């Protein structure tokens, strides 16, 4: 049996397992409309996806993952609640490490259920943990919802909070913005000169880009407004750092977050959700006393996770990526549902990694 055939056989066994848990098997097209992904993530997605052009359909992308097309399918045709499973290749460009595959198999399990999001989080995590149990993997967890709630609770302008939220999945850019907003980093000299000019466009030459003069002027006005905005306090920036630096067992993190919520009440709802999720995980037999939590976990994945995030790793093979990972993506259902939304959470397994570790034989 060829390696690809073995991977497909392993994927079929995972599909059978998830179908046995009540999921409906679905399929999606390999070619996806590029506009949807570009609207969601901006031009950054081009660096991670294979893009082609169709004379009638416009730009198309080879499927970088399954979640977006599955959400689209559910929002158009799905009943509630719903559970789906799927398997197939996804395609990711690799520009730094030639050893990483640009095409690999994923098997997924997605839950759309508004009744009890904490229980749905626990369900997805526990089922993937169960099917991978023979491998003895380490589970890592995090919660993007806590960090996002903390940013929304900052005492600063909506414009600054929106910028931080937009770059929350880009740690270096996020840090650069936070340092600038707290006054730790000075703005570039060219920007200072631009904002001090009486007429910033004087002598600018012809307009050759896509932006109009009014759009450029509006952007300059926004930069001037931001320059006049008081800095984010050291205390609030310190709270963000405290959250980002959390690396402990989940029950200890929960206690720490309860303390932090006294100073930043905006995170209280997200902390309550974490508390409910840990309870639901315990009901499903997960030892939450031994469950790792990382405040920064999930910040370098695709940009739709907005709550619970998790991954399973082989500690004896640190060279391998996550064998399985997933998370909650409530906001994505609202974007793709054109105003309709439903809480949703899912995860994927990479069967070729399971085989490499000696599982699914």
pLDDT, tens digit (0-9, with 9 covering 90-100), for 108-125: 999 999 999 999 999 999
Closest-CA residue to 327 (of 138, 159, 125): 125
SS3 helix, strand, coil % of the chain, rounded to 5? 50, 15, 35
∠ CA 104-357-293, nearest 5°, is: 85
- Please determine, for residue 255, whether its predicted confidence score (pLDDT) is greater than 60: yes
pLDDT per residue over 187-226, tens digit each? 776 666 666 666 655 555 566 666 666 766 666 666 777 7
d(C-alpha 247, C-alpha 75), whole Å: 36
Both tokens assigned to 188: 């570039």
Over residues 40-74, the pLDDT tens digits come to 777 777 777 888 888 888 889 999 889 999 999 99
- Give the pLDDT mean for 293-301: 88
What pLDDT sits at residue 300? 78
The whole-number pLDDT of residue 37 equals 80
H or E stretch at 61: strand 58-62
Does the pLDDT value for residue 361 go beyond 70? Answer: no
Q: What own/partner pairs with CB < 8 Å and gap ≥ 24 does 309-312 have?
A: 309/141, 309/142, 309/143, 309/144, 310/125, 310/139, 310/140, 310/141, 310/142, 310/347, 311/139, 311/140, 312/128, 312/129, 312/132, 312/137, 312/138, 312/139, 312/140
Nearest in space to 113 (alpha carbons), one of 147, 149, 84: 84
Contact 60, 325 (CB under 8 A): no
Percent of the chain residues past pLDDT 70, beyond the cut = 86
Q: Summarize the confidence of residues 352-359 as an average pLDDT.
A: 92
- Predicted confidence at residue 97, as pLDDT, reads 65
- Quote the pLDDT of residue 210: 60
Beta bridge partners of 105: 89
- The answer to whether 132 and 323 have CB atoms below 8 angstroms apart is yes
pLDDT value at residue 205: 57
0.85 exceeded by pTM: yes
pLDDT band for position 138 (cuts 50, 70, 90): very high
Q: What is the mean pLDDT of residues 82-88?
A: 96
What is the model's pLDDT at position 93?
82
Spatial distance between the Cα atoms of 300 and 314, rounded to a whole number of angstroms: 19
Backbone Cα Rg of the chain: 22
Range 16-39 burial, b when 16+ CB lie within 10 A, else e? ebbeeeebeebebeeebbbeebbe
Q: What is the 3-state secondary structure (H, E, C) of 77-88?
A: HCCCCEEEEEEE
From 138-147, 255-264, 300-309, the region with the lowest mean pLDDT: 300-309
Which pLDDT value is given to residue 24? 96
pLDDT score recorded for residue 170: 87
């Amino acid at each position: 049996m060829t390696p690809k055939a073995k991977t497909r056989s392993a994927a079929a066994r995972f599909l059978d397992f998830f179908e046995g848990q009540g999921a409906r098997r679905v399929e999606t097209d390999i070619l996806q409309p590029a506009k949807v992904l570009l609207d969601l993530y901006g031009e950054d997605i081009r660096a991670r996806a294979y893009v082609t052009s169709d004379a009638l359909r416009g730009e198309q992308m080879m499927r970088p993952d399954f979640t977006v097309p599955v959400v689209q399918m559910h929002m158009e045709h799905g009943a509630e609640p719903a559970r789906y499973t799927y398997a197939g290749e996804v395609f990711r460009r690799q520009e730094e490490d030639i050893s990483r595959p640009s095409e690999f198999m994923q098997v997924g399990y997605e839950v759309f259920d508004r009744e009890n999001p904490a229980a749905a989080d626990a369900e997805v995590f526990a089922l993937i943990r169960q099917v991978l149990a023979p491998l003895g993997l380490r589970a890592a967890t995090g919660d993007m919802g806590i960090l996002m709630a903390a940013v929304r609770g900052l005492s600063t302008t909506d414009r600054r909070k929106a910028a931080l939220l937009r770059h929350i999945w880009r740690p270096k850019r996020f840090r650069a913005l936070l340092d600038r907003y707290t006054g730790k980093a000075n703005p570039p000299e060219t920007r200072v000169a631009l904002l001090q000019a009486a007429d910033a466009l004087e002598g600018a030459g012809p307009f050759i880009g896509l932006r109009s003069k009014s759009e450029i002027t509006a952007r300059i006005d926004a930069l001037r407004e931001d320059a006049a905005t008081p800095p984010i306090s050291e205390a609030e920036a310190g709270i963000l750092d405290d959250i980002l630096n959390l690396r402990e067992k989940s029950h200890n993190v929960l206690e720490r977050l309860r303390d932090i919520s006294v100073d930043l009440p905006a995170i209280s709802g997200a902390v309550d959700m974490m508390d409910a999720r840990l309870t639901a995980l315990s009901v499903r037999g997960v030892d939450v006393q031994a469950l790792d939590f990382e405040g920064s976990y999930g910040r370098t994945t695709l940009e739709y996770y907005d709550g619970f995030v998790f991954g399973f790793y082989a500690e004896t093979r640190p060279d391998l990526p996550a064998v399985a990972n997933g998370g909650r993506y409530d906001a994505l259902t609202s974007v793709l549902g054109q105003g309709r939304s439903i809480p949703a959470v899912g995860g994927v397994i990479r069967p070729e990694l399971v085989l490499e570790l000696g599982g699914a034989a």
